[in-house]
Structure 1
Amino acid sequence: MDAGYARSVWQVLEPLHAVTYFAPESREAARAVGLRGFWMGYFALRAAPLGAVTPGVVEAAFYNFHPAMVRRALPDAWDFASPEAVLRARVDAATAALRRVAPAVAEGAAPAVELLERVVAAADGAGRPLFAANRGVPAPEDAVGALWQAATALREHRGDGHVAVLTAEGLDGCEAHVLFAAGEQVPVEVLRDNRGWSAEEWQAALDRLSARGLLKDADSLTADGEALRAHIEARTDELAVRPYRVLAPHEASRLVEELTLLAEQVLASGVIPFPNPMGLPPRRAH
């Protein structure tokens, strides 16, 4: 199984996971347990497997958010809702959202879960705090909830590896977004504003990357910049594919087939906006 498989499976896992950010069920669940505002809900929902951690832990693990943005939400969130309450709320909300936007999930969840949970169990948690914390959350008895939990653990596994590659290449959180925006032609506002960076901080990151010979201008990469981005993505895929090798080739193919229908229903529902700060590509036309 080559590294390209990791990207294929990410593209169908990410929509299933991402309902926890965008679905109204998830926003309402965060409000119902006492969290205040979208971003407090975001940071608490995503960080809850780590426990009532300090802002510094989340800044390190989430990587690309401005520290001030994290500190506006944490640790205050834990005064309004315990991590245990948030964990219950997030999986219940994500399960409800998936059942609503992807009707096929009722039948498709169980076969996919059996394969995904084998991958989760086979993965190496060393150096992957968000993955390891999510793997430690007990799987829900409901198959749809278990699907969401496994998808979440594996997307965080990929994300932890991606952060390791970015930091190894000497890129900070803002620079990583600048490089991505220039390489993928994503509107600056989608990344800068949703991650809390100011226009001045964004420009400073542009200047640093230009000094490294990685940018032609704000909207395009040099050959060295393109090579660095290609290396980062390829290395991320190489790290992410390892646990999937526990599956036989026919099982790996079946997993993508099972998940593709579910992911396409999520994407077709419009619950996930495009473009988005996750870098998820839009639904392919058929």
Structure 2
Amino acid sequence: MGDALARAMWERYEPVHAIVYFAPESRQAAADLGLRGFWMSYFALRAAPLGPVAAPVVTASFHVFHPDRVARALPDAWQYTTPADALAARLAAMDAAMRRLYGADAVASAAMAEAADLAWEAALAADTADRVLGAANQALDRPDRPHLRLWQALTTLREHRGDGHVAVLVAHGLGPVEAMALKAAAGESDATLLRESRKWDLTAWQEAENALRQRGLLAGDGSLTDAGAALHAEVEARTDAAAALPWRTLGAASAARLADLLEPLARTVLGAGLVPSGNPVGLTGGLWESSQPSSG
């Protein structure tokens, strides 16, 4: 148990968490707050658990974004709203989006309540020392409505895993652009989408690729060498290991039950096309592939 289970759970909770980035309800909620454009909304809603922090704090916590991308959104966002109002808005957006995606019956079902309680138990067990985003989300109040409790618990678990992933990248000497270049070379995400969405120019990307080549991780054609593939696998394995405690604490049987409850929710999100192909998160596993519409 443990590491493999952490990977399997991530594949199931990441799509549910990702509703907040791609649902039109989130964009509308942010616009209603006065936030301007996708990126100001993204950074304000995701960073809101941290409080009204400055751009360098968010840049460090999110790891892969160019400082200029963050600085265009923060702290300006806090002139239009407050972190407390942003948190309320994102929960309201998730309420509307989950009701639309899953239907009123599913949202009010016993299965949703069971999933919420299991996920909340796992989130409370997350070890948050040196995990800023995980800790900030874990400290938020417990939502009364089960579907919102589920979403917030999964968000805590997602940010907990992300904090651990950043620590692994740093330990392996992989800076933001090098980490993304390695991910793209492994086929997890589209390189152009990663570079442009995180606002790095082509020169910075090429410098990162050259640095990976000098380490023997990237071949001349941009593919991973054997050493690069091994390092990528090591990073993913250590990320899984760092994310395993909540699931060990929850126990194998309860974690398996939660996985069963989450799978149809994840498939609904993926089947709706809400999460774009080539997404920066790197959802490329069997759950993702089997949920995509046939091209035939």
TM-score class normalised by the smaller sequence: over 0.9
Provide the C-alpha distance between the structure 2 equivalents of 1:196 and 1:244, rounded to a whole number of angstroms. Answer: 35
Distance 2:246 2:277 in 1: 29
Q: How far apart are residue 19 of structure 1 and its match?
A: 0.7
Residue matched to 2:216: 213
Give the counterpart of 2:229 among 219, 226, 231. Answer: 226
Mapped partners of 1:199, 1:19: distance in 2: 30
1:283 corresponds in structure 2 to 288
Kept in 2, the 8 Å contact 1:115–1:255? The answer is yes
Which residue in the other structure is 1:12 paired with? 12
| Residue number in structure 2 paired with 1:251 | 254
CA distance in 2, matches of 1:232, 1:185: 13
How does the TM-score come out when normalised to structure 1? 0.97
Say whether residues 1:265 and 2:251 are aligned partners.
Answer: no
Greater Cα offset, 58-67 or 113-122: 113-122
Task: Output the CA distance in 1 between the equivalents of 2:145 and 2:189.
Answer: 37
* Paired residue type of 1:141: D
8 Å CA contact 1:183–1:219 kept in 2: the answer is: no
Q: Residue 193 in 1 paired to residue 225 in 2?
A: no
Q: Does the 8 Å CA contact 1:98/1:266 hold for their aligned counterparts? A: no
SS of match in other structure, 1:146: helix
Match among 108, 111, 121 for residue 106 of structure 1: 108
Q: C-alpha distance in 2, partners of 1:260/1:6?
A: 14
Q: Tell me which residue corresponds to 2:131.
A: 128
Q: Does 1:138 align with 2:154?
A: no
Structure 2 portions without partners, runs of 5+:
292-296
Structure 2 letter corresponding to 1:176 = A
The residue type equivalent to 2:252 in the other structure is: P
Structure 2 Cα separation of the partners of residues 254 and 184 of structure 1? 31
Report the counterpart of residue 60 of structure 1 in structure 2.
Answer: 60
Contact 2:117 2:150 in 1 (8 A): no
2:24 equivalent to 1:24: yes
Structure 1 match to 2:2: 2
Spell out, residue by residue over 1:229-285, the C-alpha distance to the aligned partner (whole angstroms, 9 max, x if none): 000000000010112111232211101000001111111111111111111226242
Q: Is the Cα contact below 8 Å between 1:185 and 1:219 reproduced in 2?
A: no
User: What is the percent sequence identity of the aligned residues?
Assistant: 50
Over 3 Å counting, the alpha-carbon distance change for 1:146 and 1:185 in structure 2 is: closer
Please report how far the alpha carbon of residue 142 of structure 1 lies from its aligned counterpart in structure 2 after TM superposition: 1.1
Tell me how far apart the structure 1 counterparts of residues 56 and 256 of structure 2 sit (CA, whole Å): 40
Conservation of the 8 A alpha-carbon contact between 1:182 and 1:218: no
How many equivalent residue pairs? 286
Q: Find the aligned partners of 1:218 and 1:177 in 2 and give their Cα distance.
A: 17
SS at match of 2:219: strand
Q: What CA distance in whole angstroms lies between the structure 1 residues aligned with 2:267 and 2:278?
A: 16
CA distance in 1: counterparts of 2:47 and 2:148, whole angstroms: 18
Mapped partners of 2:220, 2:258: distance in 1: 41
Between 42-51 and 273-282, report the one with greater CA deviation.
Answer: 273-282
C-alpha distance in 2, partners of 1:80/1:284? 40
Which residues of structure 1 form unaligned runs of 5+? Answer: none
1:36 alignment partner in structure 2: 36
SS of 1:221 mapped into structure 2 = coil
Distance across 2 between alignment mates of 1:265 and 1:40:
27
| RMSD between superposed Cα atoms in Å | 1.3
